[in-house]
Amino acid sequence: MEKRSLGGRRKLGWDRRLTQGPAFNRAKLCVVALLVLTLSGCFGLASPEMRRYGTASLSGAVKIVTPSHDGRDDADKGEPAVLALSLRRDEAPSAILPAAATGFGPSYEYLVALRRRSGRAEAEEVAGRLGLFYEKEAVEGVHVLRDPLRREAASVIRLLEASAGVVWAEENGWVAPLGPAPDLEALGQWALAAIRAPEAWQIADASGVVVAVVDTGIDFAHPNLDDQSLWLTGWDAESGTDYGYGAFRREQADGHGTAVAGIIGAVPKSGTGFRGVAPGVRLLPVRVIFKGAGEDDVIAGIKEAAKRGAQVINLSLQVVTQSRPPRACSPAMSQALDEVLAAGIVVVAAAGNTRGDLACPASHPGVIAVGAVDRDGKVAAYSARGSDLDLVAPGGDANGVRVLRQGGGYGYEIGTSFAAPHVAGVVALMLGKGFPQDPESVRALLHMTAVQLHDAPGLHDERTGYGLLDALGAVAADIPEILLVKKEPGRLVVEVRSQAGTGGRFYIPSVPEGTWSVVGWIDVDGDGRVSPGDYYGEHGPVASRAMQNLVNVDVILRPYEGSPLELVTRS
């Protein structure tokens, strides 16, 4: 059979001497080129867009920077952002507390009086010139303007007072009943300051968002947890019955679950100086760690948390076996995680305390894996690492993270177990503010807003992931749109629209030949144009040619301060 086949080929003219040499290769190229031109041009098989576009491509990544209330970018500070508002136990507190420590930061709103009791139109004109938003008329002739750029109050007031038609301008302050003096012990929670949680609370809360604490038992009688409105009825894997506030035995309580639950949702109590990351959250306790507990109990707990309405699941635990490496999840565990992720539930897990590879379940590709940093913004020596690490959060090292103790007290602990719930709490804030219940979108925004630490070599580092958790950035920003544009006076002519994804990365597969700017944009006010208060950044000009792959076209987004730009789609 083989000989007949070969003979047949030769009979049809397949002489090897005719298929070798440069002349034959040139002939092949000519035939192929002729076929392509004929099919695409004469027969019209190529779409107009294919004929118009070259084969250049473009890729890059986005980072989103949200200024602090003092107007500085944490990403641009010489010191690690984690030092903000930190107060060591051996330091004396300042007589004047930072605004965020008292719970009342700047309002970024201003009362502005105009000459001759001018109306709304005049006030809106003043606001437009200075990048402010008009809110309302407080009383006759006095208007409320808001600064979306969150600039220092004194500088905005100076700008307002120098504007034509303005009689006076003052900050529109917060109003609260007089109470006891600020609890200085609250500053002992350096972790909250490190992730800018007090600033995030000014624009977001987690009201009604359900976070499952899949962990050990919890001390529901702790003063900061003894609040029925905090809890939903959970589940106990040991007994297979309901578990939670009003449905537990005291011997089930454990310090680990108590600490994790407190980091996420502890309720402030006068004189205790302790609060959770996510005010207003509802906690769903799922007890899966006890004497004799196995991986099957964790799997059952994950599924039960989903059945009982969890929107976020926190897993400050690790599955340990002798038969497989720590990062390897069993098929049953992987399937359980796949199912809850497909249902839109966000899963956050501790990376592990071995300094090696990520542990299961943090190693699962859909889970947000969280490593730990200490008070000084350095990666904790014990924190697991790897290419799948998403970000880091306070977990302590030589100095610990302040936590609730079983039995009603307070103390300090270290471990990625206590880093993960900071992220779970911030995810609850994001969802409470209206961010979509989509695990990959949540992960992408956490990546883009995380603050790169001073010793990280690039966009992603195996020790720090995409950077330090930033609560303020996560609740203030959104997923940016990526635009390939021609810049013209007062407008952007849009050629291609795309979107940033996981890691902030974006890819435009077909880029026309020419010179372009790559723009990242978040339309904060929803007016369809680039305006003050939106997030905006650009990279360019970038020259593209056919058969060229443009890489590392990175864009940093910050609040926009310029004149409005109209967006026009090229016809």
Cite the active site residues: 215, 256, 417
Question: Which uninterrupted H or E stretch holds 193?
Answer: helix 190-194
Cα 343-433-149 angle, rounded to 5 deg: 135
Query: Residue type at 488?
Result: E
Among candidates 322, 321, 315, 326, which has minimal Cα distance to 295? 321
Q: Helix 420-432 crosses helix 439-449 at what angle (to 10 degrees)?
A: 110
State the DSSP code for 40. I
Token pair 């992220």 in the structure block, residue: 423
Bridge partner list, 133: 146
| Coil, helix or strand at residue 488 | strand
368 vs 391: CA distance, rounded Å? 8
Query: How far out from the chain centre does Cα 87 lie?
Result: 26
| Maximum separation of any 2 CA atoms in the chain, in Å | 105
Query: Residue type at 96?
Result: I
Query: Residue type at 167?
Result: V
- Strand 210-215 versus strand 312-315 pairing type: parallel
Question: Which uninterrupted H or E stretch holds 125?
Answer: helix 120-130
154 vs 476: CA distance, rounded Å? 23
Token pair 């099919």 in the structure block, residue: 39
State the DSSP code for 502. G
| Coil, helix or strand at residue 220 | coil
Query: Residue type at 230?
Result: L
Contact, 220 vs 231, CB < 8 A? yes
User: 166 vs 95, 143, 163, 173, CA distance in Å?
Assistant: 35, 11, 6, 19
37 vs 43: CA distance, rounded Å? 9
| Coil, helix or strand at residue 48 | helix
Query: How far out from the chain centre does Cα 260 lie?
Result: 20
End-to-end alpha carbon distance in the chain: 61
CA dihedral (74, 445, 300, 209) positive or negative? positive
CA dihedral (152, 154, 155, 161) positive or negative? positive
